[in-house]
C-alpha cells in the first residue's frame, strides 16, 4: 500500500488503535487530534512517513509509536520517518477534546516510543518540535533483533514526565527464530527541557552484557527532577532483565537521579544540566560497564558528601569544564571510582 494521507480529523476513543498503518509507504498524517485510551498512532513496517501538526492524548497507552513487527511475515524496517510540530499527553481520557485537561499522578503513558515490536528495526528517524505533558518521555527500544540507528531528536519540551529518555537494547527476541540480537547506535538528542520529572527514574541508557548501546550524543539539555530520594530508596544493583518487556520502570527506583547508563560505549554529553527541586542524596550520574564517555560543560546539583559521578567498570572517561567536578581524564580502566 502506498501514498496514503490522513488530514484534519479528530478521533475520540479510537479503539485498538486510533490509526494503525502496517506496510504503508509514503504515509502522511497532518493536523489530526486523537484522544483515546489505547495507542493513538501506531506505525508498523512503514517507509517514508510524515507525522505533523498532530496532538495525541493517550493516558493508558502510547501516543505515537513506531513498530517493526513480523505482521507481514517478513522482517521489514520502519524507516525514513519525521515527526514534527506535535504534542503528546496523558490527560484524563476525553479531557483533551473537551478542553478541561484533567490530570492524574505520574505514570500516565502518552509518549513517543520505538517498539516494543522490533524485528525489522528503525532507521533514519527525525523528531523535532514536540511537547510532552503529564506522560512518559521518549522510549527508544529494540529487543527483537532489529537495528535502531540514525535517530535525531531536537527541540523538545517536557513537563511532569516519567523518565525523559529511555534507550534500551534487549534480547526479548519475539519473532522468527535465529535472528541475532539487534543494535542501538548513532542517536543524537539536543535542545531539550524536561521539568518536574518523576524522581524515581532518571534518563536511562541500557544495553545488555556483550551488546552495548553505541554512539549517543546528548547536548543542550536541561533536566529538572523533583528529587527528594536517597540511596535507601533505590535498587543499588538493578537486575539486567535481558529478556524482559522493556519499560522505564523495569529496573525499579534507580541509584542515580540524573542519568543511569549501563553497557554503552561512545557517549558524549555536552551542556547538560541535571537539577532537583528537593535535595536528592543519590549521585547525579552512574556509569556501569561503559567505554569512551565524555562529559563537557555539564552541571549537576550535589548534596553534601555525595559524589556527582560513580564509575564502575569504565574504560576511558573524561569530564571537563563542568560543575561541581574538577576536570578529570581517566584514559585507562577503572574498576570503581567516585568523583
Tell me the CA distances in angstroms from 163 to 91, 105, 260, 280, one per residue in order.
17, 14, 11, 16
pLDDT, tens digit (0-9, with 9 covering 90-100), for 46-55: 999 999 999 9
Question: Is residue 112 predicted with pLDDT exceeding 80?
Answer: yes
CA distance 128 to 156: 7
Percent of the chain with pLDDT over 70: 99
Would you state the pLDDT for residue 282? 98
Name, in order, each residue with C-beta under 8 angstroms of 133's C-beta and a sequence gap of 6 or more. 87, 88, 89, 90, 91, 158, 159, 160, 161
Is residue 140 within 8 A of residue 184, CB to CB? The reply is yes
Question: CA-to-CA distance for 329 and 290, rounded, in angstroms?
Answer: 15
State the pLDDT confidence band at 15, using cuts at 50, 70 and 90. Answer: confident
- Mean pLDDT in residue range 219-228: 96
3-state secondary structure 20-31: CCECCEEEEEEC
Mean pLDDT (whole number) for 221-229: 96
The pLDDT of 57-67, averaged and rounded, is: 96
Q: Which pLDDT band holds residue 107 (cuts at 50, 70, 90)?
A: low
Give the number of other Cβ atoms within 10 Å of residue 75's Cβ: 18
End-to-end CA gap in the chain: 55
Cell 536541561 locates to 222
Q: Are 169 and 208 in contact (CB under 8 A)?
A: yes
Cβ partners under 8 Å of residue 246, min gap 6:
115, 116, 139, 141, 143, 166, 168, 170, 172
Round to whole Å and give the CA distance between 97 and 23: 30
Q: What CA–CA distance (Å, rounded) separates 22 from 59?
A: 23
229-250, pLDDT tens digit by residue? 999 999 999 999 999 999 999 9
Q: Are 288 and 267 in contact (CB under 8 A)?
A: no
Dump pLDDT digits (tens) for 160-199.
999 999 999 999 999 888 889 999 999 999 999 999 999 9
Task: Look at the block and give the residue holding cell 500500500.
Answer: 1
Average pLDDT over residues 194-210: 97
In the beta sheet, which residues pair with residue 131?
A: 87, 157
**Above 90 in pLDDT, residue 117?**
yes
Mean pLDDT score across all residues of the chain:
96
pLDDT at 179: 86
The total number of structural domains in the chain stands at 1
Pairing mode, strands 259-278 and 299-300: parallel
**How many residues can be counted in the chain?**
339
Residue 184 sits in which domain range?
2-338
| Average pLDDT value for residue range 248-254 | 96
Place of cell 502510547: 62
Q: In whole angstroms, what is the distance from residue 243 CA to residue 239 CA? A: 11
What does the alpha-carbon distance between residue 5 and residue 180 come to, in Å, rounded to a whole number? 35
State the sign of the Cα–Cα–Cα–Cα dihedral 323, 329, 333, 339. negative
Mean pLDDT of 124-135: 97
Q: What does the pLDDT look like over 310-338, one tens digit per residue?
A: 999 999 999 999 999 999 999 999 999 99
Whether the pLDDT of residue 40 is over 70: the answer is yes
- When pLDDT is averaged across residues 56-82 and rounded to a whole number, the result is 96
Positive or negative: CA dihedral 199, 201, 204, 208: positive
In the numeric block, the cell 544540566 is attached to 273
User: Cα separation of 299 and 103, whole Å?
Assistant: 31
Region 35-43 average pLDDT: 96
Cα(314)–Cα(331) distance, integer angstroms: 9
Enter the C-alpha cell of residue 266: 561512545
What's the predicted TM-score (pTM) here?
0.97
3-class SS at 5? Answer: strand
Amino acid at each position: 500500500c502506498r501514498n496514503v494521507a490522513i488530514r484534519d480529523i479528530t478521533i475520540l476513543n479510537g479503539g485498538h488503535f486510533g490509526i494503525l498503518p502496517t506496510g504503508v509507504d509514503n504515509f502522511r498524517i497532518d493536523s489530526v487530534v486523537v484522544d483515546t485510551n489505547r495507542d493513538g498512532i501506531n506505525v508498523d513496517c512503514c517507509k517514508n512517513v510524515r507525522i505533523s501538526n498532530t496532538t495525541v492524548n493517550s493516558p493508558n497507552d502510547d501516543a505515537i509509536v513506531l513498530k517493526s513487527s513480523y505482521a507481514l511475515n517478513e522482517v521489514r524496517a520502519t524507516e525514513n520517518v519525521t515527526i514534527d510540530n506535535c504534542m503528546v499527553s496523558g490527560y484524563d481520557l476525553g479531557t483533551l477534546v473537551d478542553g478541561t485537561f484533567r490530570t492524574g499522578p505520574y505514570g500516565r503513558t502518552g509518549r513517543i516510543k520505538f517498539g516494543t515490536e522490533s524485528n525489522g528495526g528503525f532507521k533514519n528517524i527525525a523528531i523535532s518540535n514536540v511537547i510532552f505533558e503529564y506522560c512518559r518521555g521518549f522510549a527508544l527500544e529494540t529487543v527483537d533483533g532489529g537495528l535502531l540507528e540514525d535517530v535525531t531528536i531536537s527541540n523538545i519540551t517536557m513537563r511532569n514526565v516519567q523518565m525523559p529518555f529511555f534507550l534500551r537494547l534487549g534480547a526479548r527476541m519475539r519473532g522468527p527464530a535465529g535472528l541475532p540480537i539487534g543494535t542501538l547506535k548513532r542517536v543524537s538528542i539536543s535542545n531539550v527541557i524536561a521539568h518536574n520529572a518523576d524522581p524515581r527514574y532518571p534518563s536511562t541508557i541500557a544495553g545488555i552484557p556483550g551488546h552495548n548501546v553505541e554512539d549517543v550524543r546528548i547536548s543542550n539539555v536541561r533536566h529538572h527532577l523533583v528529587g527528594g530520594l536517597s540511596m535507601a530508596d533505590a535498587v543499588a544493583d538493578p537486575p539486567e532483565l535481558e529478556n524482559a518487556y522493556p519499560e522505564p520502570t523495569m529496573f525499579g527506583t534507580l541509584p542515580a537521579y540524573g542519568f543511569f547508563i549501563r553497557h554503552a560505549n561512545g557517549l558524549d554529553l555536552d551542556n547538560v544540566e541535571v537539577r532537583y527541586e528537593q535535595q536528592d542524596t543519590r549521585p547525579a550520574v552512574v556509569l556501569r560497564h561503559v567505554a569512551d564517555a565524555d562529559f563537557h560543560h555539564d552541571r549537576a546539583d550535589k548534596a553534601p558528601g555525595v559524589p556527582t559521578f560513580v564509575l564502575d567498570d569504565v574504560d576511558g572517561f573524561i569530564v571537563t569544564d563542568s560543575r561541581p567536578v574538577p576536570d578529570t581524564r581517566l584514559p585507562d580502566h577503572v574498576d570503581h571510582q567516585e568523583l
